[in-house]
Amino acid sequence: PAPALASPSPASQEPSAKPAVFIPVDRAPEVQEARLRLPILSEEQVIMEAVSENPTVIVCGETGSGKTTQVPQFLYEAGYSSSDGLIGITEPRRVAAVAMSQRVAKEMNLSQRVVSYQIRYEGNVTKDTKVKFMTDGVLLREIQKDFLLSRYKVVIIDEAHERSVYTDILIGLLSRIVSLRAKKQQPLKLLIMSATLRVEDFTQNSRLFSVPPPVVKVDARQFPVTVHFNKRTPLQDYSGECFRKVCKIHRMLPPGGILVFLTGQAEVHSLCRRLRRAFPCHRGRTEEKEDSVEEMRKFKKSRSKKAPAALPRIDLDNYSALPMDEGDEDRESEMDEEDDALGSDLDLDLGDEENEEGEKPDASLPLHVLPLYSLLAPEKQAQVFRPPPEGRRLCVVATNVAETSLTIPGIKYVVDCGKVKKRFYDRVTGVSSFRVTWVSQASADQRAGRAGRTEPGHCYRLYSSAVYSDFEKFSPPEITRRPVEDLVLQMKALNIEKVINFPFPSPPPLEALVSAEELLIALGALREPPQTGRVKQLQGAKLSCPISPLGKIMAAFPVAPRYAKMLALSQQHECLPYVITIVAAMTIRELFEDFDRPAASEEEQAQLKGKKARVSQMQRLWAGQGPSLKLGDMMVLLGAVGACEFSGCTPHFCDTNGLRYKAMMEVRRLRGQLTTAVTSLGSHTPGLFVDPKMKPPTEGQVTFLRRVVLAGLGDHVARRIRGEELLDGKWKNGYKTPLLDDPVFIHPSSVLFRELPDFVVYQEIVETTKMYMRGVSAVEAEWIPALLPSYCHFEKPLEEPPPAYWPESGRVVCHRASTFSVPPHARRYKHF
Ligand code: ADP
Ligand code: MG
């Protein structure tokens, strides 16, 4: 069991822990020279003294000052990783974890066996690893396995200014772990690194650190950046405005790299294409061609390959090193729009000489255009760090990754569209949507700062100064604006029962904690508190429910609690492979291409329309008829994944069927991972084998799958509106949900769009012109009280028991509906 969260001990108790050994590093002369130019080098001694004298230290320094690449090296040289110790660095983004481990290994002239990384699906950590870069979700998972993080001598939380949910939780947990380790005379050092000086949430928070940690400030050599605002703010076409701005800079201004900030991957690619056409590089075009020829070759090769024999094998022993990384997923989808796997790279339109706005391509001014976003292949990401070919100007078109995670050398001009793509949640309804919104002033300033790394620069903001002054100063920490049920479950699994007392750097709103706890109770992951009259109705009283055995099982699955519940029910009626597939496909968002995206030309529009019709026909085929159709969009997911595996999961198959190739590869990996996770729990099912190429489920299995889907998505039930409620047809085809007053509708892309079953569950509601349910499956009304006893119940006892959850010790446990009553908060469910 995890130790109780005591208050941190004062710094004076810290045993003097300066390692005596100095580990020499043999760096190449040019590396050493480049390092010496980084501002952080002059602070090495100050940082190392602070670290040696304090349990926790905060390092603030501008992006590019050398924090991520140099601080781990300082610690390594000072011997913090000697005698089996480990230096851990967490990054909120996978890109950064991989790229930085490679960079640091190279600078230190060490192999990636020693300076390694671990992200959700992959890593190269060995027993010789001394410096380990990882995503924050990875470290959180390790804390569950070993609360004291005994192998680590130092943990560095990087990019703390981003305030990602996992970063915040880690800082809260580590504040306690550090003091527990100090008591055991095995000190752990905690470094928090931030690109801004806004660290009061960490320093001025006595629940977090009773003695405020020292802040070491690194003065970056920042050159002046002249900021140019647009007179007017373009309303819609900021991408076109970016294009015009880059053209002007490239034609009229002195040499120096250009960095453009856009919001998503599709935008990035489309601007890259426009720029390449406007300023073709002779060699570049060949390179592009070679690029695409190479892709084509791979594509053809993969087409001719036989289907793989089994799911990618995942080492059971290694599973512990493949932690839950939900945050990763969220992070990336938040930072980057989902990408089309093939579209972008193959669809370069090489022969097309047509140009924007009637301009002639200008080959006398070649521009070296490179895209940069989270999901870009690492080799392509690395290109931005290389100097551009002789005689060409570098132009990087990036999403938010270039704001603080990666510093691109040689940038003199920044073009900032002022927007960012963010996921928004409605706390009450759980309705989520991606929206492009204005950035904060802090972000805009960070972006501008990228122009002054090597010489004085210019930042062109595509919005007016009046708009800028309306931006919020800082964006609020993520934890205050997203649902937290996954975090609450993870904390409960760490035996932190009173989540409300957790030392959050910024606590989530009370309602978010309450609704998380309610959902977890409904899913059976927490033990409901005994009913003690009025006390129970007090909101706070609910916030200390202990985890249930089912909850422990759920916490072990690297997916959100709703999906974890489905997995916990999965090993019946030989449905395991199906449940795993459905969960994997639902977790990886946007399996299908978005055919409603705005097209660049009428021709493209027509193409999209044709493809959309073809794909929806395919989807209906996958959904089947009769009983199988009732599983609805989950059946489509099963059909799509099954058919794709049958065809060998080729880019070609994906492309013709409107599936995103990269998403399908992720599904495949996640299926492998989940299979390992589930089978390693059920020790009573040795050698369980999951065939990637599933047979279609039988009728009985489909019915079971519908119940499993309901058990997981049970709070997402909707009932068809009939009779008087229709308000004279105004709410025709509408559905009523327990929590929303307005009706919701089945999304037109759903295979159940025309079926209109009486009761459905949905994966999510997205709000566009109406509130639409996406990922819809039909359920039977009488299953609802059986599977969600804390929401509503039968008047009479059930005849058939609901499916039992994964038996922990081979014992089948049934929830008997009749033993539950309706808690006050769920009254609305009774009448709904
Ligand atoms: P910080 O973490 O303070 O933002 P970094 O340590 O990431 O700074 O970067 C320090 C310097 O190292 C920057 O000038 C950056 O351009 C350079 N750098 C980082 N990664 C690479 C790389 N892969 N190749 C070349 N230079 C790099
Ligand atoms: Mg950094």
Integer-rounded Cα radius of gyration of the chain: 27
Range scoring the smallest mean pLDDT among 250-264, 525-539, 677-691 = 677-691
Q: pLDDT band at 791, cuts 50/70/90? A: low
CB 259 within 8 A of CB 369: no
The DSSP call for residue 536 is: G
pTM of the model: 0.74
Q: How far, in Å, is the centroid of ligand 2 from the Cα of 100?
A: 8
Nearest to 712 by CA among 764, 670, 758: 764
Helix (H) or strand (E) holding 395: strand 393-398
359 or 546: which leads in pLDDT: 546
The protein residue with its alpha carbon nearest to ligand 1, atom 13, reads: 64
Q: How far, in Å, is the centroid of ligand 2 from the Cα of 383?
A: 18
The protein residue with its alpha carbon nearest to ligand 1, atom 24, reads: 385
Interval 696-749: pLDDT, tens: 899 999 999 999 999 999 888 888 888 777 777 788 999 988 777 789 999 999
Q: How far, in Å, is the centroid of ligand 2 from the Cα of 27?
A: 20
Quick one: 171 exposed, middle or buried, by C-beta within 10 A (0-12, 13-18, 19+)?
Answer: buried
For 14, phi then psi, to 5°, come to -60, 120
3-state secondary structure 419-480: EEEEEEECCCCCCEEEEEEECCHHHHHHHHHHHHCCCCEEEEECCCHHHHHHCCCCCCCHHH
Task: Say whether pLDDT at 782 is over 80.
Answer: no
Which residues does a 6 A CB cutoff place in the pocket of ligand 1? 38, 61, 63-70, 99, 103, 385, 407, 409
- Nearest ligand to residue 383 Cα: 1
CB 551 within 8 A of CB 526: yes
- Nearest ligand to residue 411 Cα: 1
CA distances from 629 to 59, 125, 576, 769, 783 (A): 57, 45, 20, 27, 18
What would the two tokens of residue 468 be? 């800028």
Kindly give the number of the ligand 1 atom that is closest to the alpha carbon of 62.
3
% of the chain at pLDDT higher than 70: 78
CB 724 within 8 A of CB 612: no
Residues in Cβ contact with 173 at an 8 Å cutoff, skipping those fewer than 6 apart: 140, 143, 494
Task: Say whether pLDDT at 804 is over 60.
Answer: no
Across 36-40, 297-301, 680-684, 802-806, the highest mean pLDDT is recorded for: 36-40
Q: How far, in Å, is the centroid of ligand 1 from the Cα of 828?
A: 55
Separation CA 565–CA 570 (nearest Å): 9
The protein residue with its alpha carbon nearest to ligand 1, atom 18, reads: 407
pLDDT score recorded for residue 131:
97
Q: How far, in Å, is the centroid of ligand 1 from the Cα of 286?
A: 30
Separation CA 227–CA 262 (nearest Å): 18
Q: How far, in Å, is the centroid of ligand 1 from the Cα of 276?
A: 27
Helices (H) and strands (E) in the chain, counts: 29, 20
Residues 630-655 have a mean pLDDT of: 91
Task: Say whether pLDDT at 534 is over 80.
Answer: no
Give the distance from CA 705 to its chain's centroid. Answer: 27
Classify 700 as helix, strand or coil.
helix
Kindly give the number of the ligand 1 atom that is closest to the alpha carbon of 218.
3
pLDDT score recorded for residue 19:
60
Task: Say whether pLDDT at 532 is over 60.
Answer: no
- Nearest ligand to residue 157 Cα: 2
Classify 563 as helix, strand or coil.
helix
pLDDT score recorded for residue 2:
44
Give the distance from CA 248 to its chain's centroid. Answer: 36
pLDDT score recorded for residue 333:
32
Q: How far, in Å, is the centroid of ligand 2 from the Cα of 393?
A: 25
Separation CA 570–CA 527 (nearest Å): 21
pLDDT score recorded for residue 123:
87
Interval 178-227: pLDDT, tens: 999 999 999 999 999 999 888 889 998 888 998 999 999 998 777 899 99
Average pLDDT of the chain is 79
Q: How far, in Å, is the centroid of ligand 1 from the Cα of 198?
A: 22
Half-sphere exposure of 459 (CA within 13 A, CB side): 23
Q: How far, in Å, is the centroid of ligand 2 from the Cα of 47?
A: 16
Kindly give the number of the ligand 1 atom that is closest to the alpha carbon of 453.
14
- Nearest ligand to residue 65 Cα: 1
Q: How far, in Å, is the centroid of ligand 2 from the Cα of 245?
A: 28
Residues 282-305 have a mean pLDDT of: 46
Kindly give the number of the ligand 1 atom that is closest to the alpha carbon of 100.
20
- Nearest ligand to residue 100 Cα: 1
Residues 476-492 have a mean pLDDT of: 89
Kindly give the number of the ligand 1 atom that is closest to the alpha carbon of 69.
6
Nearest to 694 by CA among 668, 670, 655, 669: 668
Q: How far, in Å, is the centroid of ligand 2 from the Cα of 703?
A: 50
Kindly give the number of the ligand 1 atom that is closest to the alpha carbon of 404.
4
Separation CA 340–CA 663 (nearest Å): 9
What would the two tokens of residue 72 be? 């781990």
Kindly give the number of the ligand 1 atom that is closest to the alpha carbon of 106.
23
CA distances from 773 to 486, 511, 565, 632, 768 (A): 22, 24, 21, 12, 11
467 or 780: which leads in pLDDT: 467
Separation CA 746–CA 756 (nearest Å): 8
Across 183-197, 324-338, 576-590, 650-664, the highest mean pLDDT is recorded for: 183-197
Q: How far, in Å, is the centroid of ligand 1 from the Cα of 201?
A: 27
Residues 59-79 have a mean pLDDT of: 94
Q: How far, in Å, is the centroid of ligand 1 from the Cα of 162?
A: 18
CB 484 within 8 A of CB 516: yes
Separation CA 391–CA 394 (nearest Å): 10
Q: pLDDT band at 693, cuts 50/70/90? A: low
pLDDT score recorded for residue 691:
58
pLDDT score recorded for residue 794:
52
Give the distance from CA 461 to its chain's centroid. Answer: 28
Quick one: 751 exposed, middle or buried, by C-beta within 10 A (0-12, 13-18, 19+)?
Answer: buried
Residues 754-767 have a mean pLDDT of: 90
Task: Say whether pLDDT at 807 is over 50.
Answer: no
Kindly give the number of the ligand 1 atom that is closest to the alpha carbon of 406.
7
CB 516 within 8 A of CB 425: no
Sign, Cα dihedral of 789, 792, 798, 803: negative
Give the distance from CA 817 to its chain's centroid. Answer: 36
Separation CA 811–CA 807 (nearest Å): 5
Q: pLDDT band at 324, cuts 50/70/90? A: very low
Nearest to 739 by CA among 829, 830, 831: 829
In the chain, the amino acid numbered 564 is A
Kindly give the number of the ligand 1 atom that is closest to the alpha carbon of 382.
23
Range scoring the smallest mean pLDDT among 498-512, 571-585, 686-700 = 686-700
Range scoring the smallest mean pLDDT among 152-156, 366-370, 699-703, 739-743 = 739-743
Quick one: 279 exposed, middle or buried, by C-beta within 10 A (0-12, 13-18, 19+)?
Answer: buried
- Nearest ligand to residue 387 Cα: 1
| Bridge-based pairing state of the strands 717-720 and 759-767 | antiparallel
The protein residue with its alpha carbon nearest to ligand 1, atom 14, reads: 64
Kindly give the number of the ligand 1 atom that is closest to the alpha carbon of 102.
23
| Bridge-based pairing state of the strands 393-398 and 257-261 | parallel
What would the two tokens of residue 330 be? 């969220």
Residues in Cβ contact with 318 at an 8 Å cutoff, skipping those fewer than 6 apart: none
ipTM for the assembly: 0.98
- Nearest ligand to residue 92 Cα: 2
Range scoring the smallest mean pLDDT among 121-125, 499-503, 506-510 = 121-125
Residues 356-380 have a mean pLDDT of: 78
CB 657 within 8 A of CB 640: yes
- Nearest ligand to residue 218 Cα: 1
What would the two tokens of residue 56 be? 């926790």
Task: Say whether pLDDT at 535 is over 50.
Answer: no
Task: Say whether pLDDT at 72 is over 90.
Answer: yes
721 or 126: which leads in pLDDT: 126
In the numeric block, the tokens 């007392």 are attached to 501
Kindly give the number of the ligand 1 atom that is closest to the alpha carbon of 99.
23
Task: Say whether pLDDT at 679 is over 60.
Answer: yes
| Bridge-based pairing state of the strands 771-778 and 759-767 | antiparallel
482 or 445: which leads in pLDDT: 445
| Residue of 90, 103, 197 with the most ligand 1 atoms within 8 Å of its CB, for mutation | 103
Task: Say whether pLDDT at 7 is over 70.
Answer: no
Separation CA 344–CA 380 (nearest Å): 13
Residues 222-250 have a mean pLDDT of: 88
459 or 544: which leads in pLDDT: 459
Residues 503-516 have a mean pLDDT of: 90
Task: Say whether pLDDT at 687 is over 80.
Answer: no
The DSSP call for residue 42 is: G
In the chain, the amino acid numbered 296 is M
Q: How far, in Å, is the centroid of ligand 2 from the Cα of 96?
A: 8
Interval 586-608: pLDDT, tens: 988 778 888 877 677 788 889 88
Separation CA 304–CA 296 (nearest Å): 12
The protein residue with its alpha carbon nearest to ligand 1, atom 6, reads: 66
pLDDT score recorded for residue 17:
54
Range scoring the smallest mean pLDDT among 266-275, 503-512, 525-534 = 525-534
Range scoring the smallest mean pLDDT among 781-785, 799-803, 814-818 = 814-818
| Residue of 44, 407, 411, 412 with the most ligand 1 atoms within 8 Å of its CB, for mutation | 407
What would the two tokens of residue 266 be? 């599709």
pLDDT score recorded for residue 428:
55
- Nearest ligand to residue 69 Cα: 1
Half-sphere exposure of 325 (CA within 13 A, CB side): 29
Residues 508-531 have a mean pLDDT of: 84
Separation CA 554–CA 267 (nearest Å): 38
CB 271 within 8 A of CB 279: no
pLDDT score recorded for residue 38:
92
The protein residue with its alpha carbon nearest to ligand 1, atom 20, reads: 103
In the chain, the amino acid numbered 154 is V
Say how many Å lie between the first and final Cα of the chain, rounded. 41
Q: How far, in Å, is the centroid of ligand 1 from the Cα of 545?
A: 46
Kindly give the number of the ligand 1 atom that is closest to the alpha carbon of 103.
23
From the CB of residue 86, how many other CB atoms can be counted at a distance below 10 Å?
18
| Bridge-based pairing state of the strands 432-438 and 419-425 | antiparallel
pLDDT score recorded for residue 690:
53
Kindly give the number of the ligand 1 atom that is closest to the alpha carbon of 63.
4
| Residue of 69, 91, 108 with the most ligand 1 atoms within 8 Å of its CB, for mutation | 69
Task: Say whether pLDDT at 541 is over 90.
Answer: no
Residues 365-383 have a mean pLDDT of: 84
Task: Say whether pLDDT at 429 is over 70.
Answer: no
CB 345 within 8 A of CB 661: no
The protein residue with its alpha carbon nearest to ligand 1, atom 25, reads: 385
pLDDT score recorded for residue 94:
83
Task: Say whether pLDDT at 11 is over 70.
Answer: no
Give the distance from CA 477 to its chain's centroid. Answer: 15
Q: How would DSSP label each residue in 145-186?
A: H-TT-TTEEEEEE--GGG--HHHHHHHHHHHHHHHHHHHTT-
Nearest to 90 by CA among 325, 307, 309: 325
Q: How far, in Å, is the centroid of ligand 2 from the Cα of 622?
A: 46
pLDDT score recorded for residue 53:
95
In the chain, the amino acid numbered 120 is R
Task: Say whether pLDDT at 461 is over 80.
Answer: yes
In the numeric block, the tokens 């990054």 are attached to 91
The protein residue with its alpha carbon nearest to ligand 1, atom 17, reads: 407
In the numeric block, the tokens 């229709």 are attached to 726
